Chain A
């Protein structure tokens, strides 16, 4: 690789400098500024002076604890049960509000709980919304990255054939990408509508009235799934185009060779197409992952993070806090946490897909 022919410090710098310099000035420098903000108590607007607060923003964001809660007993030591026969537990707020015995948990809220014997193990966190946004974001990424990447590849293979009028289809598949995500989200609100939405009407018609309409975005169980579905639909054309560009770089002579050797379609794909898409696959995987972690516009337009925080995401929270609640240092803290997390993941990705 490092042949003398290609070694050139001067030309190398000269060619890379404009692009690299612009990125440094307009992305890297502001990001370091955001990192600095996360160590202060800076408000978006305030007459109060900015103070350096160390890691306390991170502490507030990340602190979690577990409280063991025993079921209520009557004076004889018998466990109390409600009408359904379930054990009755004291409310978490009796521990986390003005309770000197649990001073370390002051102001924390329940995130989730499980039972160990009769004792309830309650996981409490200072910032439950942050943890929910973290798990929602991870869920979104884990589903969208493989599904969208895979569907996009299928579409690219489908569209990469010699057929009359194929260009029209290619254009149509790309159309959802062309329309702004804000616009698409607005349109899908009509489709997902709980009363008279198109999706309910179609499912009802297809099932001859068996399907009962549901409030897709209003139900915490279906809201995130609905947004995932729409997001895949919207952006799959984007990645189809990237796959297509990759497919074009595979030499036709390889396909000819494969067909001479009598390879079937799957073998051709497995031994000719897929190896030729290596760099494209890395690109698609990384791009989808980055975009999925940045999920914001759909949430902002369609659910505002609700219902019950079931669709809130890290970037949505960063924006909501930084701008909406004027807590620019709190918003910056989430951004930094997100950055470090994705950086770790992408380093793992790079390690796993490294050229051996």
Chain B
């Protein structure tokens, strides 16, 4: 495929040697934004700005729908058909880097020194990917709800602790105003579970895998802290605080706005919808269950594929895309958290006093990246199933043991994943 492409390009070059375009090298790029018109417009704008700004490289973009993106990349990699510039979800990057799909990103560290930690993708001590934005999760509610239930407004400095959080849920339940006190988004299967819920586990003192070695999950995912988390998690569903795994996806999307839930654990991408529906929407920090408040970090990032013959060209494009203006464009367009403080000031929502500025503070203060290991892709799946099973009433200790066994077997089968 590649060689025929080059052959045809060479033929075309031969035919128009005199033209200025002949000096340009084509770089292909894949992006996950198909179907999102605003996002597509912004990325297309960056590409055309870059192509106009210099005469060495021409970037051509192919967009994929997000739900199909990872499968497409893996299939293309198996078939030896990757582009030069790849778009990669932060926690997946170590897997692709380890598998040899990506190469280190040759841009100078000084370019990204002001970036939030989440968007920087490091693996094995080297920078492989960099994001233009981050995403954050908050406990969404309304001021009127807090007032009606007589609850304190938690702050970054003083978030709710476990007792306060459960008391808030009890108050919401007792009021009889809501179908459920809390919407966790159980309808969103897949990466949402580890992204949104593993911070709870971390706040309890556990983790998906032991981050000191990345060689075992024993103790981290089935130790005392994890058991306590599991019992608490099961109680949320058994005691009717939150809808379980069979939650209607439509309720997830519209339930909070419709007043079915008092609190909703949701991402900044859904914040504008909530704000438009209710002026008094609040975004509260994650509760502190004992080991500090934590939320997930790292979203989509750019990197260079291993098969690219022009990493310097790919890096030139990525560095070009890191301008504050583009960071702000993405933020204004689709509500993402811009990766630098300076670009945040250029946005409508994240500038000081903006309606979503709280998310910038949240991600600065509470963000913790998901385990940085090639095994994360599998561990995320195992964690998702364990949480779903516990929510559905499975024995907590047995379920967490099984998850630990499966994660450890996978790590062993992959010779330790290169740590």
Q: Using a CB–CB distance below 8 Å, which chain B residues touch chain A?
A: 71, 74, 77-78, 95-96, 98-101, 179, 189, 243-246, 248-251, 377-378, 381-382, 385, 388-389, 392-394, 397-398, 401-402, 405, 409-410, 413-415, 418
Contact B98 A47 (CB under 8 A): yes
Q: Report the bound CA distance from A43 to B409 in whole Å.
A: 13
Q: Which 6 A-B pairs have the closest CB atoms?
A: A218-B246, A307-B392, A45-B99, A193-B248, A217-B246, A325-B378
Closest partner residue, chain A, to B251 (CB atom): A195
CB within 8 Å of B: which A188-205 residues? 189-190, 193-197
Q: Choose one: A97, A216, A218, A323; the contact of B401 (CB below 8 Å).
A: A97
Contact A190 B78 (CB under 8 A): no
The reply to whether the CB of A308 lies closer than 8 angstroms to some CB of chain B is: yes
With most chain B CB atoms within 10 A of its CB, the pick from A110, A216, A323, A325 is A325
Contact B388 A44 (CB under 8 A): no
Closest partner residue, chain B, to A48 (CB atom): B415
Contact A306 B78 (CB under 8 A): no
- Known contacts A195-B251, A215-B246, A326-B377, A45 near B398 by CB under 8 Å: no
Contact A304 B189 (CB under 8 A): yes
The reply to whether the CB of A107 lies closer than 8 angstroms to some CB of chain B is: yes
Contact B250 A190 (CB under 8 A): yes
The reply to whether the CB of A93 lies closer than 8 angstroms to some CB of chain B is: yes
The smallest C-beta distance from A334 to any residue of chain B, in angstroms, reads: 15
Contact A47 B418 (CB under 8 A): yes
The reply to whether the CB of A41 lies closer than 8 angstroms to some CB of chain B is: yes
Cβ–Cβ < 8 Å partners of B415 in chain A: 48
Cβ–Cβ < 8 Å partners of B251 in chain A: 193, 195
Contact B99 A307 (CB under 8 A): no
CB within 8 Å of B: which A16-41 residues? 41
Q: Report the bound CA distance from A215 to B74 in whole Å.
A: 37
Q: Using a CB–CB distance below 8 Å, which chain A residues touch chain B?
A: 41, 43-48, 91-93, 97, 107, 109-110, 128, 189-190, 193-197, 215-218, 220, 303-309, 320, 323-327
A interface, by DSSP: helix, strand, loop or mixed? loop
The smallest C-beta distance from B78 to any residue of chain A, in angstroms, reads: 7
Contact A107 B405 (CB under 8 A): yes
Contact B414 A43 (CB under 8 A): yes
Cβ–Cβ < 8 Å partners of B410 in chain A: 325, 327
A-B contact count (CB 8 A): 95
Q: Report the bound CA distance from A327 to B415 in whole Å.
A: 14
Cβ–Cβ < 8 Å partners of A43 in chain B: 413-414
Contact B248 A326 (CB under 8 A): no
Contact B397 A91 (CB under 8 A): yes
Closest partner residue, chain A, to B401 (CB atom): A93
Cβ–Cβ < 8 Å partners of B398 in chain A: 91-93, 109-110
Contact B74 A109 (CB under 8 A): no
Q: Choose one: B71, B249, B413, B418; the contact of A327 (CB below 8 Å).
A: B413
- Known contacts A43-B413, A44-B74, A195-B251, A308 near B393 by CB under 8 Å: yes
Contact A220 B392 (CB under 8 A): yes
Contact A45 B74 (CB under 8 A): yes
The smallest C-beta distance from B307 to any residue of chain A, in angstroms, reads: 14
Q: Report the bound CA distance from A43 to B244 in whole Å.
A: 33
Q: Report the bound CA distance from A332 to B297 in whole Å.
A: 34
Q: Report the bound CA distance from A110 to B271 in whole Å.
A: 44
Q: Report the bound CA distance from A48 to B375 in whole Å.
A: 14
The smallest C-beta distance from A63 to any residue of chain B, in angstroms, reads: 14
Q: Report the bound CA distance from A324 to B249 in whole Å.
A: 22
* CB-defined A-B contacts under 8 Å, sample of 12: A91-B397, A128-B402, A193-B246, A196-B248, A215-B244, A218-B245, A303-B246, A306-B389, A307-B246, A307-B388, A324-B381, A327-B378
Q: Report the bound CA distance from A326 to B418 in whole Å.
A: 16
- Known contacts A195-B248, A304-B388, A45 near B413 by CB under 8 Å: no
Contact B405 A48 (CB under 8 A): no
The smallest C-beta distance from B222 to any residue of chain A, in angstroms, reads: 9
Q: Choose one: A41, A110, A306, A326; the contact of B378 (CB below 8 Å).
A: A326
Cβ–Cβ < 8 Å partners of B101 in chain A: 45
Q: Report the bound CA distance from A306 to B409 in whole Å.
A: 22
The smallest C-beta distance from A215 to any residue of chain B, in angstroms, reads: 5
Q: Report the bound CA distance from A220 to B394 in whole Å.
A: 11
Q: Choose one: B78, B250, B394, B397; the contact of A45 (CB below 8 Å).
A: B78
Closest partner residue, chain A, to B392 (CB atom): A307
Contact A189 B377 (CB under 8 A): no
Contact A46 B401 (CB under 8 A): no
Cβ–Cβ < 8 Å partners of A325 in chain B: 377-378, 381-382, 410
Contact B245 A47 (CB under 8 A): no
Closest partner residue, chain B, to A106 (CB atom): B405
Closest partner residue, chain B, to A109 (CB atom): B402
Contact B99 A47 (CB under 8 A): yes
The smallest C-beta distance from B223 to any residue of chain A, in angstroms, reads: 13
